[in-house]
Amino acid sequence: MKGKIIIISAPSGCGKSTIINALLERGEIDMQFSISATNRPPREGEQHGVNYYFLTDDEFRNYISQDAFVEYEEVYPGRFYGTLKSEISRITDEGHNVILDIDVKGGVNVKRMFGEKAISIFIEPPSVETLRQRLVNRATDPEDAINQRVAKAEYEISFAPEFDVTVINDDLQEAISQVDSVIKGFIAS
């Protein structure tokens, strides 16, 4: 059956985007990326309608009041991220599977909503210190944002047991191939 939901969650910096992009580039799995909406500003190189739908605070609030989201979270103070109902249906109505890169609470909620139609995969860092180092090396966030993300990570890691599968992202190629086989198994089931 097509139109399944693949949820990838983890604290920021654990490698979700890297793993998802590697699998999308390989193109072996029939799945499309769910573009989330957010009110955070774009990072260098990010594009509206590709990485996110970048919205103003007012636009985001309007979507909330129109009940347009499957789920949304205030992931960081004042920073909202949400999965639009229209985005999921755009992809699944065409019979494609959809892959979501969403925060840990969002991941738990979407799995609860879609049940057997969804698989939830938690990406864990080898350690919180390694996570900090990756965020520093990524060099996309100011120091206070990195501190905020690391501080939240330990709390988020405590949600790992609520996910269907946990993959530790130590060796990147190993993590990619584990996620690849989990998704292929789920889609074939």
120 forms part of the interface with ligand 5GP (CB under 6 A): no
Q: Which of 44, 58, 63 is CA-nearest to residue 138?
A: 44
The H-or-E segment that residue 16 falls in is helix 16-26
Size of the site for ligand ADP (CB under 6 A): 13
Residue (52 or 188) nearer to ligand 5GP, CB: 52
17 forms part of the interface with ligand ADP (CB under 6 A): yes
73 forms part of the interface with ligand 5GP (CB under 6 A): yes
Tell me which DSSP letter residue 116 carries: G
Q: Which residues contact 81 (CB under 8 A, 6 or more apart)?
A: 36, 37, 38, 40, 72, 73, 75, 102, 103, 106
75 forms part of the interface with ligand 5GP (CB under 6 A): yes
12 forms part of the interface with ligand ADP (CB under 6 A): yes
Tell me which DSSP letter residue 42 carries: P
Out of 6, 7, 9, 16, point to the residue binding ligand ADP (CB under 6 A): 16
CB contact burial 118-154 (16+ within 10 A = b; e otherwise): bbbbbbbbeeeeebbebbeeeeebeeeebebbbebbe
39 forms part of the interface with ligand 5GP (CB under 6 A): no
Give the binding site for ligand 5GP (CB under 6 A): 12, 16, 36, 40, 71, 73, 75, 81-83, 101-103, 106
Give the binding site for ligand ADP (CB under 6 A): 10, 12-18, 134, 137-138, 169, 172
